[in-house]
């Protein structure tokens, strides 16, 4: 408890200290140092909890109406803390390289570092709070810090718009969260999450269902589930790369944390909640994956893939909920462990991909796929890490994305579902997941193939070169995590094991022994997968080494076969848009692939162009609805003349009748 407080103070003081020095390098150094210190402090208490130690508890007296501030760090919160803080630190290291060119300018980099510290602070608060108001405070710090981090390049109007869009969305989410908390507070008369849980467990029914839906909406907005994702592609495209990485990989995982936390508070959710979560998540995964196909902007693409991946993680959590509802301990373990493992894995590979995309932006000053090409020869390290992250995000062996999806599949094909129809529904969800996997492989092939392979498409971009070590080191650290968690997935399991046990506590009569068998089975499966991945890697390396050793003379080089055409140029390579066109147009109901073109005409055509664009359908519809509402309100106010006394009297009459009706109904005078 004291260590946690010390970490919070370190972060706060560090944030303030960042603002003071005169030179940007000192400001950044202070930020990094304070964050590193706080990370060590937090790890020293969170790691023992994750590895099976007792939960950390403490309380702090505070004035009314807040009351006793309770802090409780159990295995679930500690699991999120042990990777959130180190990853934020890595992001801050990356920021040194990314913002390097601003260091010598008038720009105050200290503010940025202070905000990164505040982000880390929000994790410590949210993941250890046992008090609803403290939870909301941490939630809000995260939202505001993320907004301010996004608008780093605030001089650009598009960036400001993206930031504002995010700010509005996250506060709409807050409204739902506050509404749910208000309902819970009125029933439990306490701000403690524990007493929320007591009421939730004891009172299944309409109100609990309502609370569940409110919470799911709020957390869905936070984690960018479909259809609450419309802020996400803009924010990720506008923010600096490390901010996008932290938002997508780390900050928005708080939504999933809160979801798991409240499911655990409910204890035994109803069966429909599990099915609802599975359906909702599958929809997110499928639509998110489809949207990655159409994007031209590398960072927008990665943003949509966040929607896809929270969907995949949510699928695992949904399976866990079903397990709780059916009282099946192995489903609970597989579902929650799989979902949380995917959260961890996604944090690893998504940050890595965003860092690689940021390196591309630093080197080439654009992330528009259609202008790039052939970067892997100029930026080999960046290309290698993008490829590694890409294989992981497509959930392919031998990397970490595969291990968590495997666990989720094993939950979906568990064979212990209640009734044949439930099994059929889970198999359909698994088929959806398979579709998502194939689509994300398509997008990654497209992104990596167009940006890093082939030859440069736009001669106006001067030859990019590899980025600085400040940026490469965090990228490679994430890459190492991706490989290690892929070959030794048991390591990941030890981190989520405690959280899975916590979920099991919701089952009646469950004890440590009941958790042992399914956890052990899962561990065996994962070590088998790890071994298989190792064998596959070794076999491929051996074959390749054998081939490259045997051919001593370098292979002769020749131009790419152009089917007999003698003068191909690099603009004739297949583009990202053409890659997506054939697939995307089959989903034109969901995916808006817009194109404007002027085809060359006649025997001696003068010019021609083709502009492709894939806007967000939800956002378009949202703005259309807002505009429509705006117009009808304006039309109504035009018709009503405010100086007309009849309108005023009429309105007053309606108001009086309404108030009288409410009073009569509320006091029960009619009964």
Contact 90, 39 (CB under 8 A): no
Supply the angle between the helices 271-294 and 420-452 in degrees, to the nearest 10.
20
* Residue 61 in the binding site for other proteins (CB under 8 A): no
Strand 609-613 to 69-73 pairing = unpaired
Q: What are phi and psi of 537, to 5 degrees?
A: -60, -45
Closer residue to other proteins in complex, CB, 185/435: 435
Is 471 a residue that touches other proteins (CB under 8 A)?
no
**What's the closest the beta carbon of residue 588 comes to other proteins, in angstroms?**
13
**Site map 400..419 versus other proteins, x via CB under 8 A:** --x--xx--xx--x-x---x
Among 103, 185, 435, 470, binds other proteins (CB under 8 A): 435
Does residue 549 belong to the site contacting other proteins (CB under 8 A)? no
Does 373 contact other proteins by CB under 8 A? yes
Q: Binding segment for other proteins among 315-323, 499-507, 580-588, 590-598 (CB under 8 A)?
A: 580-588
CA separation for the pair 369, 576 (Å, rounded): 7
User: Cα separation of 126 and 140, whole Å?
Assistant: 10
Residue 579 binding other proteins, by CB under 8 A: yes
Query: Residue 166 or 448: which CB sits closer to other proteins?
Result: 448
Q: Is residue 279 at the binding interface for other proteins, with CB under 8 A as the rule?
A: no
Q: Could you say whether residue 525 binds other proteins (CB under 8 A)?
A: yes
DSSP state, 104?
T
Neighbours of 568 (CB within 10 A): 13
Phi, psi of 486 (to 5 degrees): -80, -45
Which residues inside 438-467 make contact with other proteins, applying CB under 8 A? 438-439, 441-442, 444-446, 448-450, 453-455
Q: What angle separates helix 75-98 from helix 109-128, to the nearest 10 degrees?
A: 170
Neighbouring residues of 527: CB distance < 8 A, sequence distance ≥ 6 = 488, 489, 490
Decide if residue 427 touches other proteins (CB under 8 A).
yes
Bond prior to 398 in cis (omega within 30° of 0):
yes
Stretch that binds other proteins, among 8-16, 28-36, 433-441, 462-470 (CB under 8 A): 433-441
> Would you count residue 181 as binding other proteins (CB under 8 A)?
no
Of 216-235, which residues contact other proteins (CB under 8 A)? none
Distance of CA 422 to the CA centre of its chain: 29
- What's the min distance (Å) between Cβ of 465 and other proteins? 16
Of residues 535, 647, 654, 658, which one binds other proteins by CB under 8 A? 535
Which string of DSSP letters, residue by residue, matches 191-256? -BHHHHHHHHHH--SHHHHHHHHHHHHHHHHHHT-TTS-THHHHHHHHS-HHHHHHIIIIITHHHH
Judged by CB, which is closer to other proteins: 6, or 387?
387
> Which one of 9-17, 180-188, 529-537, 594-602 is the stretch in contact with other proteins (CB under 8 A)?
529-537
Determine, following the binding rule CB under 8 A, whether residue 523 of this chain makes contact with other proteins: no
* 490 makes contact with other proteins (CB under 8 A): no
Q: Which of 513, 547, 567, 645 binds other proteins (CB under 8 A)?
A: 547
Residue 44 or 416 having the CB closest to other proteins:
416
**What distance in Å separates the CA atoms of residue 545 and residue 135, rounded to the nearest whole number?**
54
Query: With binding defined as CB under 8 A, does residue 517 bind other proteins?
Result: no
| Nearest-approach distance from CB 437 to other proteins, in angstroms | 7
Q: Which residue number, 233 or 374, has a Cβ lying nearer to other proteins? A: 374
CB nearer other proteins, residue 310 or residue 383 = 383
Min. distance of Cβ 390 from other proteins in angstroms? 8
Quote the CA–CA distance of 665 and 183 in Å, as a whole number. 21
Q: Does 654 bind other proteins (CB under 8 A)?
A: no
Q: Residue 430 Cβ, how far from other proteins at the closest point, in Å? A: 5
Altogether, the residues listed in the chain come to a count of 671
**Closer CB to other proteins, 512 or 563, in the complex:** 563
Check: CB of residue 616 under 8 Å from CB of residue 237.
no
* Alpha-carbon span 348 to 354, nearest angstrom: 10
CA distance 461 to 152: 24
Q: How far apart are CA 649 and CA 656, in angstroms?
A: 11
Candidate ranges 44-52, 111-119, 300-308, 389-397; the one touching other proteins (CB under 8 A): 389-397
Provide the β-strand partners of residue 594.
613
Residue 154 engages other proteins in binding (rule: CB under 8 A):
no
User: Could you give phi then psi for residue 578, rounded to 5 degrees?
Assistant: -70, -35
Residues 6+ apart with CB under 8 A from 605: none
The span from the CA of 258 to the CA of 222, in Å, is: 10
Does 420 engage in binding with other proteins (CB under 8 A)?
A: yes
Nearer to other proteins, 420 or 636 (CB): 420
Q: Give dist(CA 560, CA 511) in Å, integer.
A: 64
CA distance readout (Å), 358 to 239, 364, 366, 469, 475? 10, 10, 9, 13, 10
Residues 550-569 that bind other proteins (CB under 8 A): 551, 553, 555-563, 568
Rounded distance, CA 327 to CA 503, Å? Answer: 11
Closest distance to other proteins from the beta carbon of 586 (Å): 6
Nearest distance in Å: CB 115, other proteins: 38
| Residue appearing with tokens 């980025």 | 467
Backbone phi, psi, residue 415, to 5°: 80, 5
The single residue among 62, 161, 272, 574 that binds other proteins, judged by CB under 8 A, is 574
Paired residues of 609 in beta bridges: 598
392 binds other proteins (CB under 8 A): no
Q: How far apart are CA 28 and CA 95, in angstroms?
A: 9
Between 556 and 668, whose beta carbon lies closer to other proteins?
A: 556
Residues in contact with other proteins, counted by CB under 8 A, come to a total of 82
Q: In this complex, which beta carbon is closest to other proteins, that of residue 164 or of residue 435?
A: 435
Question: Is residue 161 within the footprint of other proteins (CB under 8 A)?
Answer: no
By C-beta, is 157 or 560 nearer to other proteins? 560
Instruction: Point out which residues pair with 297 in neighbouring strands.
Output: 368
Site for other proteins in 81-120 (CB under 8 A): none
Residue choice 426, 471, 488, 507 for contact with other proteins (CB under 8 A): 426
Shortest Å distance, C-beta 416 to other proteins:
9
Neighbouring C-beta atoms of residue 552, cutoff 10 Å: 6
φ, ψ for residue 610, nearest 5 deg:
-145, 125
> Among 117, 376, 382, 475, which residue interacts with other proteins (rule: CB under 8 A)?
376
Among 20, 60, 168, 431, the residue binding other proteins under the rule CB under 8 A is 431
* Binding flag, residue 488, other proteins (CB under 8 A): no
d(CA 433, CA 570): 36
């Amino acid at each position: 408890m004291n260590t946690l407080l010390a970490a919070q103070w370190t972060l706060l003081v560090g944030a303030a200290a960042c603002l003071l020095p005169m030179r940007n390098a000192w400001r950044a150094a202070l930020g990094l140092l304070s964050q590193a210190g706080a990370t060590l402090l937090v790890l020293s208490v969170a790691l023992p909890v994750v590895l099976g130690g007792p939960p950390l508890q403490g309380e702090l007296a505070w004035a009314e109406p807040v009351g006793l501030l309770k802090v409780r760090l159990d295995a679930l919160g500690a699991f999120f803390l042990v990777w959130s803080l180190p990853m934020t630190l890595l992001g801050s290291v990356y920021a040194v390289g990314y913002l390097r060119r601003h260091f010598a300018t008038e720009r105050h980099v200290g503010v940025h570092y202070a905000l990164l510290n505040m982000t880390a602070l929000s994790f410590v608060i949210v993941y250890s709070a046992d008090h609803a108001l403290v939870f909301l405070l941490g939630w809000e710090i995260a939202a505001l810090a993320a907004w301010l981090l996004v608008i780093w390049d605030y001089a650009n109007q598009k960036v400001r718009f993206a930031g504002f869009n995010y700010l509005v969305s996250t506060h709409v989410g807050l409204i739902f969260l506050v509404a749910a908390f208000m309902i819970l507070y009125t029933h439990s008369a306490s701000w403690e999450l524990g007493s929320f849980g007591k009421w939730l467990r004891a009172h299944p029914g309409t109100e609990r269902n309502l609370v569940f839906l409110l919470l799911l909406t709020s957390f869905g907005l936070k984690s960018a589930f479909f259809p609450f994702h419309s802020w996400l592609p803009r924010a990720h495209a506008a923010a600096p790369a490390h901010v996008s990485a932290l938002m997508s990989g780390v900050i928005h995982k708080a939504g999933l944390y809160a979801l798991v936390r409240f499911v655990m508070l409910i204890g035994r959710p109803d069966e429909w909640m599990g099915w609802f979560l599975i359906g909702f998540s599958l929809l997110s995964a499928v639509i998110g994956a489809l949207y990655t196909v159409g994007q031209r902007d590398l960072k927008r693409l990665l943003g949509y893939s966040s929607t896809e991946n929270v969907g995949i993680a949510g699928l695992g959590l949904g399976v866990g909920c079903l397990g709780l509802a059916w009282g099946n301990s192995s489903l609970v373990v597989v579902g929650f462990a799989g979902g949380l493992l995917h959260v961890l894995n996604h944090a690893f590979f998504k940050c890595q991909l965003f860092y690689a995309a940021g390196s591309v932006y630093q080197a080439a000053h654009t992330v528009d796929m259609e202008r790039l090409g052939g970067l892997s020869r100029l930026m080999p390290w960046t290309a290698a890490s993008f490829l590694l992250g890409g294989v992981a995000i497509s959930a392919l062996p031998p990397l970490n994305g595969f291990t968590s999806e495997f666990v989720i599949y094993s939950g979906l094909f568990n064979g212990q579902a209640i009734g044949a129809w439930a099994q059929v529904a889970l198999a359909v969800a698994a088929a959806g997941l398979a579709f998502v996997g194939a689509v994300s492989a398509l997008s990654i092939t497209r992104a990596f193939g167009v940006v890093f392979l082939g030859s440069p498409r736009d001669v106006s971009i001067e030859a990019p070169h590899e980025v600085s070590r400040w940026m490469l080191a965090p990228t490679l650290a994430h890459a190492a995590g991706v490989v290690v968690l892929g070959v030794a997935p048991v390591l990941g399991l030890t981190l989520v094991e405690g959280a899975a046990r916590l979920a099991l506590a919701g089952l009646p009569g469950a004890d440590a022994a009941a958790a042992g068998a399914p956890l052990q089975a899962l561990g065996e499966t994962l070590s088998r997968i790890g071994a298989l991945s190792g064998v596959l890697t070794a076999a491929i390396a051996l074959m390749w080494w054998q081939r490259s050793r045997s051919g001593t003379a370098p292979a002769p080089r020749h131009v790419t076969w152009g089917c007999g055409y003698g003068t191909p140029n690099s603009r004739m390579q297949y583009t990202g848009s053409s890659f997506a066109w054939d697939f995307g147009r089959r989903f034109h109901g969901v995916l808006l692939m817009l194109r404007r073109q002027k085809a060359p005409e006649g025997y001696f055509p003068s010019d021609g162009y083709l502009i492709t664009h894939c806007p967000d359908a939800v956002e378009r519809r949202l703005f259309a609805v807002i505009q429509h509402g705006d117009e009808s309100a304006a039309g109504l106010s035009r018709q009503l003349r405010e100086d007309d006394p009849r309108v005023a009297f009429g309105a007053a009459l309606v108001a009086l009748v309404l108030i009288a009706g409410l009073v009569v109904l509320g006091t029960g005078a009619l009964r």
